[in-house]
Chains A and B, each alone.
Chain A
Amino acid sequence: MSGNIDKELIKDGIRLDGRKPNELRDIKIEAGVLNRADGSAYVEWGYNKVLAAVYGPTEVHPKHLMESNKAIIQCKYNMAAFSVSDRKRPGPDRRSVEISKVIKEAIDHTVLTEKFPRASITVLIEILQANAGTRVAGLTAASVALADAGIPMKGLIQGCAVGKVGDTVVLDLDKEEDNFGQADLPVGMLNGPDGVEFVLMQMDGDMTPEEINKGFSYLLEAREVIEKLQRDALERKYSKKV
């Protein structure tokens, strides 16, 4: 977050890519795209291309991680070397490790892990092409992959981010906005009988409580749009005729 206002990221309420402050980028979701994995999903979100796969429930490796009364969630978020402008060296870096952790925790809250004692559910997220918002796109894809694998959950999780550019609260930052904007607030949302819960939340930058509040209202609207896309993807997989 440099907060460097070299570029005019927003002018007269229109962002660099033509979007209004509360507009999402184009999103496409497909379920069941891989053959070996128990569940999988592919998401195109703006210029992001994300693949998620689930294996589970399976035996726990290494054995010492096993829990006698529930399944453990193992999660790995990884960026492909070719996913960014400056090639990323293969292998986990500190950022990937942190993202893997917060996504795992979101999934742990949502999956009914007590149904599979002594088992493991592995969630793998691969970023093939990155353009900001990869962790929330990854979480969104992972949720569909879990449903595709038939893993019981409290609900589908929708990931999305809000932020601030040019002193304006905006929804779904793209790469330019993330690099040169003033704040970034990615979340994971789970809808339930009592309303929406946040199962993932991070923030960096500079936002007032009122701005955050406005951001939340954008996120709640976006959540419904994203959930519909997830459901449609699963329905299309189900009605697939070969």
Chain B
Amino acid sequence: MQLTWKSFVAAMGAAVLLLALLGSFNLAFAQDTTTDTTASDGLFETTSVGGGASSVSVSSNGTVVPTELPETGGGFRASL
């Protein structure tokens, strides 16, 4: 099979289209990560990672603040 200039250009065109598609995905992902540069206690900056309800904040020293306290009950006490 012989590679022609026409087929090469067509292949590159297809690749560019796919790259553009990926770029839009990447942009959407990047918008999920927001930065809040307000220091919580004057010592550390915090950054919000993720989006929506699952967003957690991460301080500049690596400490993560979860969105909610853990679910630590199985229900036995309620059966007493």
Q: Do A and B come from one complex?
A: no
Residues of A within 8 A of B (CB): none
Residues of B within 8 A of A (CB): none
